[in-house]
Amino acid sequence: MGRLAQTDGLTEIQRDILATVREFVDKEIIPVATELEHKDEYPTAIVEGMKRLGLFGLTIPEEYGGLGESLLTYALVVEEIARGWMSVSGIVNTHFIVAHMINAHGTQEQKDHFLPRMAAGEIRGAFSMSEPALGSDVAAISTKGVKDGEFYVLNGQKMWLTNGGTSTLVAVLCRTDEGGSTPYKNMTTFLIEKTPGFGPNPTVPGLTVPGKIEKMGYKGVDTTELVLQDVRIPADRILGGVPGRGFYQMMDGVEVGRVNVAARGCGVARRAFELGISYAQQRTTFGKKIAEHQAIQFKLAEMATKVEAAHQMMVMAARKKDSGERNDLEAGMAKYLASEYCKEVVEDSFRIHGGYGFSKEYEIERLYREAPMLLIGEGTAEIQKMIIGRRLLEEYRIAG
């Protein structure tokens, strides 16, 4: 373990957790990641190992069977997991977002019902906000929930669900037209329990997960659509029990999700740096190791600086959220910086590898296909810049 991406001020418990996860990544993830990724195979054994380590309940309060750890601890764990294989961190991320939303916004009955089984990994969560024609314009959501007595009838099509097939609980954002005068007050989050698998769902009539979306990278984890045709959901499965609060609940989930994506960017970038600096000390050209060429040393220096800067920004954003303060500015900055730097560090490592970087036998090839997902996940760079710009104008608005 090198000196990059170290975090000051951690407790002994946090250090122990990270050491355990790092060992798990080195022994159980890195040796099999490339093979599983090329097969697009779900990492069942790795997921079972994470369940044994208690990672699915890392941030769930102890009273519900979790470890009660902070967002910072979670982000550092995600960084380690993404260093091994980014897809595995995606399996944990959507679960974490849904658990966070239930813990922060759910009714007591919802917390008692879901959180203990989520902590044990028996229930695994998915997060469903996007739609085929939606993109970043959440106000244009078209999936609709209509009240029918003690139920709501849901109709629409959702897109880009990570864990859409393997999950057993999906938090789905719908338009309900009950909350108020603006689109943002007319959205509601529904908690839908389902059976894992693809096709028509046997326990939720009208709900269909058509199949996996084929992707350039981010393989192994399933990314899916979700089709709802007259799906009847009890009113007590509205998150928080009151319609019209869904947009704000989802944005809270996305905010912590942005810290997660930043952490993933940090992990992938760190692995790319490790691969690049290792290869540079093995490959010989013009009679010496390429690491001895000034051009390569300059590249390594730039890569390491970006790894360090992204890590520290991510840590700051997580600590801000843990303190109870508003952190949308810091989360946006961290996500923007870490994802952009990740892309650049991976590409530089790819260049250091030369022609071998283009070969599927080398790990950097996988990282090169994985990094682009971070540029769009939890909001594009352009969305982050909008968030950052608006918050800066709030902070620095001049009088008059």
Q: Which residues are catalytic?
A: 378
All residues at 6 or more sequence positions from 390 whose CB lies less than 8 Å from its CB, including other chains: none
Neighbouring CB atoms inside 10 A of 19's CB total 12
**What is the C-alpha to C-alpha distance for residues 248 and 158, in angstroms, rounded to an integer?**
19
DSSP, res 57:
G
- DSSP structure class, residue 55: G
CA–CA dist 290, 387 (Å, integer): 42
Going by their DSSP bridges, the two strands 169-175 and 187-193 should be labelled as antiparallel
Q: Which two tokens stand for residue 251?
A: 């944005």
Q: Are 163 and 182 in contact (CB under 8 A)?
A: no
Residue at 41: amino acid letter: E
Q: CA-CA distance, 95 to 171, in Å (whole number)?
A: 10
CB-CB contact of 167 with 124 (8 Å): yes
Token output for 217: 């990278």
Give the separation between CA 155 and CA 227, rounded to whole angstroms. 8
**What are the strands, taking DSSP E only, across the chain?**
125-128, 144-148, 151-162, 169-175, 187-193, 199-200, 207-209, 223-234, 284-285, 288-289
**Which tokens hold the place of 103?**
């813990």
- Kindly list the distances between the CA atom of residue 173 and the CA atoms of 102, 126, 247, 261, in Å, as whole numbers in the listed order: 14, 12, 8, 21
DSSP state of 396: T
Paired with 226 in beta bridges are 158
- Contact 175/145 with Cβ under 8 angstroms? yes
